[in-house]
Amino acid sequence: MWALAMASEMALDERSDNFVRFEIIMQMLARSLTCLFPAVLILFLLICGAGFAEKKIQKNDGKPLRALLVTGGGYHDYKKQKTILTEGISKRANVEWDIFIGDAAKTKAKLSEDGWADDYDVIVYNLCHAHETDGNFVEALSKVHREGKAAVVLHCSMHSYHWKVPGETKHWPAMLGVTSPRHGKHAPIEVTNLAKDHAVMKGFPKKWTTPKGELYHIDKTWPSATVLAKGSIDGGKKFHDCVWVNTYGKGRVFGTTLGHHNETMSEDNYLGLVTRGLLWATGNLE
Ligand SMILES: [Zn+2]
């Protein structure tokens, strides 16, 4: 009986010894974690910071760029695209936005106001107003950019403001850097990077196939433009220039006919490309 009591007491002692040892280890662990916590926190912040810095393609001296998105017209989901573009670009660079969305008449009225572009570093056009016939309006609009206002021109901007303008003076295509008369059938576009060393194309793959596509035919690339990428929908039998930069008087222009589908415009390759184009046009990327 005594022996049994001793044995169980020893077992109890052993358990309580183990418990004390366990408690000491836990206290030591807690102390070392407390000591390590600031280091772990700093490491965590550094990792997050690195990720954040990677997201931002470039900041322009901490001061946000002021951009106006002019959008609207038929055939495209401009309501969603205004969010895709402005949020996508602002995630990648320090850009603040105003957005104007309207039909052809309202857009014409807005872009005819005195000083409509004065508050902005860059105007981004993602619009489709192909039936404008007023040459004076288009000339005045183009002049804003000829005098130095940076522009980013996307997709159906290339079919706007020139098809039905009478006469030979085609100010808008000269501003764009290309003349496009039509587009081909809907199909994914294989985009070939022609200028991997150009700042706008750094980070863009050698080849990229868009999820969906509507390739614009380009009849003329203006001598003032530098082509950065070409696109094909038939495995490379025919190509059309599809990404470029242009200088128009004192103004810098970045353009791409890629776009049309929300799926394409939501891709990182697309938003990164347009962001770098915007930064180049405003002199923030060389
Ligand atoms: Zn389209």
What pLDDT is recorded for position 22?
47
What pLDDT is recorded for position 54?
38
Query: How far is the centre of ligand 1, averaged over its atoms, from the C-alpha of 120 (Å)?
Result: 26
Query: How far is the centre of ligand 1, averaged over its atoms, from the C-alpha of 74 (Å)?
Result: 9
Same domain, yes or no: 83 and 20: no
Which residue type sits at 4? L
Q: Which residues pair with 126 in a beta bridge?
A: 71
Q: Which two tokens stand for residue 245?
A: 């930069």
**Residue 60 belongs to a domain:** no
Which residue type sits at 100? F
Q: Which two tokens stand for residue 109?
A: 């009225």
Same domain, yes or no: 31 and 112: no
Same domain, yes or no: 219 and 143: yes
What pLDDT is recorded for position 286?
85
Which residues touch 179 (CB under 8 Å, ≥6 apart)? 162, 170, 173, 218, 219, 220, 222
> pLDDT digit of tens for each residue in the chain (286 aa)?
444 444 444 444 444 455 445 455 556 555 554 545 445 444 444 444 443 333 456 556 678 999 999 999 999 999 999 999 999 999 999 999 999 999 999 999 999 999 999 999 999 999 999 999 999 999 999 999 999 999 999 999 999 999 999 876 679 999 999 999 999 999 999 999 999 999 999 999 999 999 999 999 999 999 999 999 999 999 999 999 999 999 999 999 999 999 999 999 999 999 999 999 999 999 999 8
Domain hosting residue 47, numbered range: 16-54
Query: How far is the centre of ligand 1, averaged over its atoms, from the C-alpha of 65 (Å)?
Result: 28
Query: How far is the centre of ligand 1, averaged over its atoms, from the C-alpha of 101 (Å)?
Result: 17
Query: How far is the centre of ligand 1, averaged over its atoms, from the C-alpha of 259 (Å)?
Result: 7
With a threshold of 0.85, does the pTM exceed it?
Answer: no
What pLDDT is recorded for position 4?
42
Query: How far is the centre of ligand 1, averaged over its atoms, from the C-alpha of 170 (Å)?
Result: 21
Same domain, yes or no: 158 and 22: no
Rg, Å, the chain Cα set: 29
Same domain, yes or no: 108 and 156: yes
Give the 3-state secondary structure of the chain: CHHHHHHHHHHHHHHHHHHHHHHHHHHHHHHHHHHHHHHHHHHHHHHHHHHHHHHCCECCCCCCEEEEEEEEECCCCHHHHHHHHHHHHHHHECEEEEEEECCHHHHHHHCCCCCCCCCCCEEEEEEECCCCCCHHHHHHHHHHHHCCCEEEEEHHHHHCCCCCCCCCCCHHHHHHCEECCEEEEECCCEEEECCCCCHHHCCCCCEEECCCCEEEECCEECCCEEEEEEEECCCCCCCEEEEEEEEECCEEEEEECCCCCHHHHCCHHHHHHHHHHHHHHCCCCC
Query: How far is the centre of ligand 1, averaged over its atoms, from the C-alpha of 211 (Å)?
Result: 14
The count of domains in the chain is 2
Same domain, yes or no: 164 and 247: yes
Which residues touch 181 (CB under 8 Å, ≥6 apart)? 163, 217, 219
CATH of the domain at 232: 3.40.50.880
Query: How far is the centre of ligand 1, averaged over its atoms, from the C-alpha of 181 (Å)?
Result: 13
Same domain, yes or no: 163 and 252: yes
Query: How far is the centre of ligand 1, averaged over its atoms, from the C-alpha of 107 (Å)?
Result: 19
Same domain, yes or no: 240 and 146: yes
Same domain, yes or no: 174 and 34: no
What pLDDT is recorded for position 26?
52
What pLDDT is recorded for position 60?
60
**Residue 3 belongs to a domain:** no
